[in-house]
Chains A and B, each alone.
Chain A
Amino acid sequence: MVDDDEAPLIYGVEFQARALCAVSGVPDDDTVRFLVGTQSIKFENQVHFLEYDEESGSLGKSIYAHRAGEIWRMTSSPNDHRHFATVYQTIEDTNVVSKCTVWQIPIDATNDQSNSLTIDDSSNQLHQPLRKKFDLNVPNSNIIDVEWEINGERIGTISETNVYIWNVEQHDSPQILSTGSIDSKSGASHKLSCCRWNPHISTNQLATSLGPHIRAWDLRTMKCSFSIDNAHLPYVRDIDYNPNRQYHLMTCGDDFRVKFWDVRKPNECLKILTDHSHWVWSARYNHFHDQLIVTSSSDTRVILFNIASLSSEPYGSLNVSDDAKEEVEEIVNEDRLVRIFDEHEESVYSAQWASNDPWLLASLSYDGRLILNRVPKNEKFQILLRCPT
């Protein structure tokens, strides 16, 4: 049983792939959903819509054609599980152009008709194309990253030098609410590469990475609200806000490290993890238990950490009733590496937690291998025992 539970679920995408995102849950539905976007220059790119049913342990898939280009990033709408945005590249006049579009999955995934279309992918049938909702493009600028606001009202996109905030409440005609641009001096040497929306302070903050630095924008004034210089040399690859602690931030980058920051003290980092042996491409907090952190790296490894010391959850012993528990708690108190998932053979560019299951995480390597892993049972029980609710 234990083995069954802990064994990873592997799914293969036939092209190389970088983009992975968790799809926000539908109320009263336990199904875990992920989206994977492929990256291929020659072939028609695909978006795989994956549904994992925990009861049966089966993975349902729907494949849609993404004809616009190779997908670099994608993010799913927090309100509607059928909506998502992709950042993709196409070639126009011997130039690489990077664009962003919001798509809709054409028919409800549970519909029989879609199933009939997707079943026979082996017989070279075309996949159903995605339905385009709207573009989020600005003339003469390449979109690098896109991020949905936590309540779904706004979308932030970045180009190499600018930040754009879109109002998407009117589904047909998105409007740019505000733009911000980095000063020309730093823009000459570094480019924006990644953005994350702050879930706190009324979601009025967007953190972006600028080469080795972090720049956060106050969206009301479009001015810098904080900045961390030289967070990771030479590149910051990913940023994530702690979902529960307002000022805590996690970054990772090409110096093989994962760092934790308190944005009120940008000169001093709280903690450094050095377990990876190559660039760290993504680092994510678990939304339910923010001591759990998953990182993925081009050293082909995905690592799960338990960083209790920086967690919002109570730290230290809660119930002194049981002797056996106390022993366990002594172990729990330390920050540690929980597990290395080493099933990947290629660089892992993305690892994401499931949006509605606290113990499930997905990682996608460049060769198109998607792996669903679970938090080890011991760890899970320890956290649950300590959790007050």
Chain B
Amino acid sequence: MDPSKSTSNSQANILPSTYDPTNIDSPGFDPETYVTKLLRESRLAQLIDKEQLLTKQIKTLDNEMQTLVYENYNKFISATDTIRQMKKDFKTMEDEMTRLISTMSTINSNNHQIHLTLDNRRQEIRKLTSIHVLLQKLQYLFQLPAKLKEYADDNQYDLAVNTYTKALKALQKYEHIPSFNHIQQTCKETMTNIRDELKSRIDQQQTSSSNVVKLLLQLGESSDYLAQQYLSQNKLRLEHPLELMKQQLIVVESQLGSLSSSVTISNVVAQQMHPMDILEFVDTSYNSYMKNLHEFVESYELLFIRNPSNIPSSPSIEDEYKERCKHYLENFLLELYSAYIKFIHDLFQSKYYGQDDDIQLYVRAIDRFLRRSSSDIYKYLFTQHALEKMRSMLDAFLKFAIECRLKFYHSRIDRHFHDQIIELRKSLTIIQTNEQIQSSSDHQPSQLNLSQCVDKMLKQLTNDIKSTFQNLSKFLDGTELVCYAGKKNVFMKQFATNHVWNGFFLTLLERLITYFEHEYTTASNHSTMIRHEQSSPPILLLILSKLILDFDSSSTPYLCTVFEEKFHFILENNQRSDNQKSGSSSFSIDRSKLIAVQKQFSVIAKQLLKQYICSQGFTLSQMLRKSIETRDWLNTVEPRHVRSVMKRIIEDLTQIDKQVKTLYNDQQSPAPLSSSYGRYYHRSNLVSGGARSSDGGRRTIIMPRSSALDRATSGGPGSSAGSTGNLQLNFHKVFNEKLDIFIDLQFQKTSILSSIIKLLLKTYLECIRLKTFSRYGLQQVQVDINYLYNYLWSFVNNDDRFITNLLEEIVSSTAMRCLDPVLMEASVITVICEGN
């Protein structure tokens, strides 16, 4: 009790609630503490009550314990009884088991005995059955020849072949036995008959079914021969659709002809007759033709390549056969394909389809064709060689198709352009006749026309080229097309550089140049017929030169940017390309070729302009020349008027001036503002001519150089004036630049007009030098020259130094050629000139 007491104490200390030593039911109950507590806390009466209660409780507890012990004891006794009963039962069971074992062993031994007795019989039966089967087989063999013959007679070749191939092994096995050998022989005979029959069928019939070939193959016919035969016989059949398509194409073409020729056909009929578009055509032709072909190839492969050969032979030989068959097939396919591609070539070149305007369809047709065939060839072609051949064929086709298109566009643009030129010519003749009717009233409408004409033609040409670029760029949209040609970039680059840039654009420009060179300039050194020279009216030349100039300066750069946009290219100059080659990701084309072409353009424009100047100058000169040549200058009266030809010349010049002004402006060179003022400036200052003021002031009257007069007046041979005059005569030339009519001709009104005037005056000079003049002749020339002088300078924008020089030269020359050189007075000249 002590240790428990101590523990309970300690426990009570730690856990006073649960191990309350005062609680009688708690495990830490301490009777001492309990009692002490009771004694301490309770009163006597309570204590007595407590004692009584406790005693009562102890008594009940004792009773309960006694009943428990008794019950358990009873249970133990019944258990012991049960165990004893069980022991007795087990013993009987064991006895029954031993008896079962003994009966089983007897059954076993009996069984064994029965088995032994039955075994002999069974073996016998087995033997008998096998003999029976063998006999049946033999019978089949013996019947075989007859059966085969029967089949052969009934044309059931496939059955015959099947039975034969089944029996063949057995026959070969028992070959050494004579009777079997005989059977085999007869069978073989029948089969060779069949084979011959089949072969003859194959050879004779146009179409051989794959069945027959299969049978023959099974009969061991050489696959070489068969394959070739098969291919050659199917070729015609396969090419048939192609023929049909070709005919269709021809029909379409002829229809096109009839359609265009007979306008009377109503729209409905035309609609009905409307043939397929190119895409459809390609599709259907491909379907009909290629499907057949591919079905055929399928069957061929089944027959010759996938089918294991029946003839026992070494695998290597078999492989060889197959290879050969494949080879035949490939060649065959290539042949057919090339025929087809040829047809497609024709199609794209044909009038109807090749000239079709719809680029989208065109590109899609090409694309469709290429895509389908390129996917198909991988299926059916085996060797690298054939593939390459095929691809090169397709490549060539692609190129061809593109070139066809380019040609088409070329011809279209050419046509448009020529139409326009013809139209222009027509309208020009109309204008000219109108002008003649209207005479000198006002030419406003015709002038407006000129620049409009140029604009119109330029626009048309530019738009044509631009739309062609647009159309050509569609080639790049067909992604499959691009995929086919390998790397997208490579194709794009090739297409853009080779076809679009070189093949289309540059060629077009060059064609234009040669056209102009041929038609309108006589500068080409080839032998030219004479009629060419006067065939084109001068205005046309002027318009065309402006057209070329504008095309060169505005359209070409614009088209270049269009090209760059459409094809993602960058045009580069030579030097730049070196630097940028590494950096730039987009492609680039060297611009040098274009620059060369542009240079040619400006040369041509200049030539046309020259032509214009020559022809205008020529017409004016003719007028002047006639007027000088037909006049008797020795016997004229005193001049009273300016000759009418001079007025006429000024009028014509004014008209030319107007004409040129509508097309060429002087904006490059800053024209002095005073020019408009100067036009009406009256030169009234009277200076007795001769001395040319060196400060550049304008002379008012043109007079012959004093030297010329000296020479002319101071008579007498050997006079000193002769030599000094010569000196003076030449002296002025040191300061005058040489006259060159076409030197630095510019695309400006002033430059053009001064060239024309130079031509005119030079002619004047030369004509004068061929004549001899009297006094009045000289004076008449003086009047004319001064009249010209008053007007001419306004045409050339105040740059009239050369005019003064030339006019002076003319008067001097006239004085020299004058028998009696007496000059008219300057004031009189002015009066006469003013009077008109």
A interface residues (Cβ-Cβ under 8 A, vs B): 12, 14-16, 41-44, 89, 91, 94-96, 124-126, 229-231, 233-234, 255-256, 267-272, 274, 277-279, 298-300, 335, 342, 345-347, 366-368
Q: A16-B816, A270-B527 are in contact. Are A43 and B717 (CB under 8 A)?
A: yes
The docked-state distance in angstroms from the alpha carbon of A28 to that of B529 is: 47
The answer on a CB contact under 8 Å between B762 and A267 is no
The answer on a CB contact under 8 Å between B729 and A367 is yes
The docked-state distance in angstroms from the alpha carbon of A91 to that of B818 is: 11
List residues of chain A with CB within 8 A of the CB of B718: 44, 124-126
List residues of chain B with CB within 8 A of the CB of A16: 816
List residues of chain B with CB within 8 A of the CB of A256: 614
The answer on a CB contact under 8 Å between B625 and A41 is no
How many chain B residues touch the partner (CB < 8 A)?
42
List residues of chain B with CB within 8 A of the CB of A278: 741, 759, 762, 766
Q: A41-B772, A44-B717 are in contact. Are A277 and B522 (CB under 8 A)?
A: no
Q: 9 more A-B contacts (CB under 8 A) besides A14-B722, A96-B772, A299-B741?
A: A12-B726, A41-B712, A41-B819, A233-B618, A269-B530, A271-B527, A300-B738, A345-B738, A367-B726
Q: For the complex formed, measure the closest distance between the CB of A14 and the CB atoms of chain B, giving whole angstroms.
A: 5
B530 to A, closest residue via Cβ: A230
List residues of chain B with CB within 8 A of the CB of A267: 529-530
The answer on a CB contact under 8 Å between A366 and B769 is yes
Q: A96-B634, A272-B522, A366-B769 are in contact. Are A277 and B740 (CB under 8 A)?
A: yes
The answer on a CB contact under 8 Å between B522 and A274 is yes
The docked-state distance in angstroms from the alpha carbon of A235 to that of B410 is: 43
The docked-state distance in angstroms from the alpha carbon of A255 to that of B739 is: 17
Q: For the complex formed, measure the closest distance between the CB of A138 and the CB atoms of chain B, giving whole angstroms.
A: 21
Residue of B634, B741, B766 most packed against chain A (CB within 10 A): B766
The answer on a CB contact under 8 Å between A274 and B523 is yes
List residues of chain A with CB within 8 A of the CB of B711: 42
Q: For the complex formed, measure the closest distance between the CB of B276 and the CB atoms of chain A, giving whole angstroms.
A: 52
Q: A267-B529, A271-B527 are in contact. Are A279 and B766 (CB under 8 A)?
A: yes
The answer on a CB contact under 8 Å between B817 and A299 is no
List residues of chain B with CB within 8 A of the CB of A367: 726, 729-730
B722 to A, closest residue via Cβ: A14
The answer on a CB contact under 8 Å between B733 and A94 is no
List residues of chain A with CB within 8 A of the CB of B741: 277-278, 299
Q: For the complex formed, measure the closest distance between the CB of B663 and the CB atoms of chain A, giving whole angstroms.
A: 23
Q: Could you say which of B527, B715, B722, B817 contacts A269, with CB atoms under 8 Å apart? A: B527
The docked-state distance in angstroms from the alpha carbon of A300 to that of B762 is: 12
The docked-state distance in angstroms from the alpha carbon of A44 to that of B726 is: 15
The answer on a CB contact under 8 Å between A298 and B762 is yes
List residues of chain A with CB within 8 A of the CB of B742: 277
The docked-state distance in angstroms from the alpha carbon of A270 to that of B530 is: 11
Per-position 1/0 for B787-824, Cβ under 8 A of A: 00000000000000000000000000000111100000
Per-position 1/0 for B759-773, Cβ under 8 A of A: 100100010010010
Q: Which residues of B from 735 to 758 have beta carbons under 8 Å from A? A: 738-742
List residues of chain B with CB within 8 A of the CB of A271: 525, 527
The answer on a CB contact under 8 Å between B634 and A15 is no
The answer on a CB contact under 8 Å between B530 and A94 is no
The answer on a CB contact under 8 Å between B726 and A14 is yes
Per-position 1/0 for B508-524, Cβ under 8 A of A: 00000000000000110
Q: Could you say which of A14, A41, A255 contacts B816, with CB atoms under 8 Å apart? A: A41
Q: A277-B741, A298-B766, A299-B739 are in contact. Are A272 and B625 (CB under 8 A)?
A: no
List residues of chain B with CB within 8 A of the CB of A279: 766
Q: Is B622 an interface residue (CB 8 A)?
A: yes
List residues of chain B with CB within 8 A of the CB of A91: 634, 772, 819
List residues of chain B with CB within 8 A of the CB of A12: 726
9 tightest CB-CB pairs across the interface, nearest first? A124-B718, A44-B717, A277-B741, A345-B733, A96-B772, A14-B726, A277-B742, A94-B634, A43-B717
The answer on a CB contact under 8 Å between B723 and A14 is yes
Q: For the complex formed, measure the closest distance between the CB of B667 and the CB atoms of chain A, giving whole angstroms.
A: 27
